[in-house]
Structure 1
Amino acid sequence: MTDSTKPRAKAADKRRRLTTEAARVLHEKGVERTTLADIARAADVPVGNVYYYFKTKDDLVRAALSEHSAHLGELTGRLDRLPDPRDRLKGLVETWVGQREVAALHGCPTGTLAAELDKRADGVLDVAAGTVIRELLDWAAAQFRALGLPDADGLAVTLVSGYQGMSLLANALRDPEIMTREGARLLRWLDSLDTAG
C-alpha cells in the first residue's frame, strides 16, 4: 500500500465502522434516543470525525438502512446457492429463529426502524426503510414463484408478516421462544404448500 492510499483506506475503515455501528446502535436504542456521540463511541471514532462522513443523524440512519439492505443481500445470496427454493425459504426462517435472542431484546432491525421512522413527519426515511422490507418481499415472492405456487406475492407477505409478528411479540414479551415456536410453525407451513398444482 502506498502512502497516498493509506489515508483513503483509513477513511474507508472509519466510515465502514460508523455505518456498521449505526445499524447496531439504532437497532438497540432507536433513532430518537441515539446520538451521534453514541455511534462515534461504539465505532471508536472521535465524535468530531463523524461530521466528516455524515452531516446529520438522518445521514447515519440512511447508512444504517444501507447496512440492513447489504446484510439482506448477503443472506439471500447465500440462500440462493441452495438448489431448492423451498429450502431457501426454510433457510430464511431458520436464520430468523437463530436471531431470536436479539429479536427478544430489540425486535427486527428493519421492522422496528421502519415503525419508528413512520412516526416522523418528514415521510422520507420511513420510505427508505420500507424499501429494505420490499427487497425481502420480492426475494421471497421469487422463491414462491420458482416453486410454481399461485399468488407468490401474497405468500411472501404471509411469510414476512409471520416474521414481523413473531419478532414483535418476542420483543414485547421478552420471550425468544416465541421465535422458536412460530418459526417451527412457518417451517411446517412452507412444507405444506402444494407445488403440484
Structure 2
Amino acid sequence: MTDSEKGARRAPRKRERLAAAAARVLHEQGVEKTTLADIAREADVPVGNVYYYFKTKNDLVEAAIDTHAQNLSEAIAALDALPTPGERLKALITGWVEQRDTTVRFGCPTGTLASELDKRSDGLDTTVAAVMRVLIDWAERQFAELGRSDARELAVALIAAYQGISVLTNTLRDPEVMTTEGRRLERWIDSLA
C-alpha cells in the first residue's frame, strides 16, 4: 500500500470524526458559541487540519446535519426490524425516553439545531428541515400501516409532541417530564390501533 493510499484510508475517518464531533459540540454549545477549535479539540484533530476537510463553519454545520441524518437512518433501520407499526412507534418513543438525561442538559439534538438555524439566512434551515421531514414521513408510514386515514396528521402530532416534551424537559431540567409524557404517548399509540 502506498503512502497516498494510506492517507486516503485515514482521510474519511478523520472527516467523519470531525462531523460527529461537530454534531456533539453544536448540540451542547449551539452554533453561535461553537468554534472550529472546539470541534477540532473534540475530534482530537489539529485545528489547522479542519480546513482541509471543511472550508467554513457552515460546511461543518452541514456535516453535523448529515451526521444527524445518518443517525436517524440507522435508528429507522433498527425500528423497521420490529414486526408491527405499533411496536415500531413505541420503540421510537422508548428511544426518546432513554435519552432523557441528555435532553435535560441540551434538548433534542435535531430540534435545537433546527430552532437555531431557523434564525439564520444561509439555507441550512432547509437542510435540517429535510432531516425532520424524514422522521415525519417514517411515522406517517407507520400510522398508515395501522390503517389510519389521518396518518400524516398523526405523524406530525407525534413529532410535535416529542419536540414540545424535549423543550419542557430541557427547560425544567426534569427527566421525569420525558418519562411521563413518553408513557402517555405509548398509551396514545395503543389507543389508535
TM-score tier, shorter chain, comes to: over 0.9
Equivalent in the alignment of 2:51: 51
**Alpha-carbon shift at residue 94 of structure 1 (Å):** 0.2
Structure 1 residue aligned with 2:91: 91
Please name the residue that 2:80 is paired with.
Answer: 80
In structure 1, the residue corresponding to 2:81 is in which secondary structure? coil
Q: Deviations over 1:152-187 (max 9, x none)?
A: 000001100110011000001111111000000000
Give the Å deviation of 1:2. 5.2
Q: Aligned letter for 1:142?
A: R
- Amino acid across the alignment from 1:186: L
- Report what 1:148 is aligned to: 147
Distance 2:5 2:75 in 1: 31
Partner residue in 1 for 2:22 = 22
**CA separation in 2, counterparts of 1:12 and 1:98?**
30
Alignment of 1:78-157 (within 5 A): 78-122=78-122, 124-157=123-156
Secondary structure of the residue that 2:82 maps to in structure 1? Answer: coil
1:49-79 Cα deviation digits (max 9, x unpaired): 0000000010000000000000000001000
Q: Match of 2:11?
A: 11
TM-align CA RMSD: 1.0
Match of 1:182 in 2: 181
Give how far 1:11 is off: 1.1
Q: CA deviation at 1:121?
A: 2.9
**TM superposition score normalised by structure 2:** 0.98
> 1:9: Cα distance to partner?
1.4
Instruction: Give the total of aligned pairs.
Output: 193
Distance in 1, matches of 2:4 and 2:55, equals: 25
> In the aligned structure 2, how far is the partner of 1:121 from the partner of 1:56?
16
Runs of 4+ in 1 over 6 A off after TM superposition: none
**Which AA in structure 1 matches 2:59?**
D
1:192 is matched with which residue?
A: 191
Question: For residues 44 and 153 of structure 1, do their structure 2 counterparts lie closer, same or farther at Cα, with a shift above 3 Å needed?
Answer: same
Give the secondary-structure state (helix, strand or coil) at the position aligned to 2:31: coil
- State the secondary structure of the residue aligned to 2:33: coil
Residue by residue, what CA displacement relative to the aligned partner does 1:102-142 show, whole Å, maximum 9, x if unpaired?
011000001000000111133x0111111110000000000
Q: Which letter maps to 1:130?
A: A
Q: Distance in 1 between the 2:9 and 2:90 partners? A: 39
| Distance in 1 (alpha carbons) for counterparts of 2:26 and 2:9 | 25
1:61 aligns with 2:54: no
| Unpaired segments ≥5 residues, structure 1 | none
- Per-residue CA distance 1:11-33 (angstroms, 9 max, x = gap): 11110110000000000000000
TM-score norm. by structure 1 comes to 0.96
**Which sections of structure 2, spanning at least 5 residues, go unmatched?**
none
Partner Cα distance (1:130, 1:193) in 2: 27
Aligned residue number for residue 166 of structure 1: 165
In structure 2, what residue type is equivalent to 1:105? R
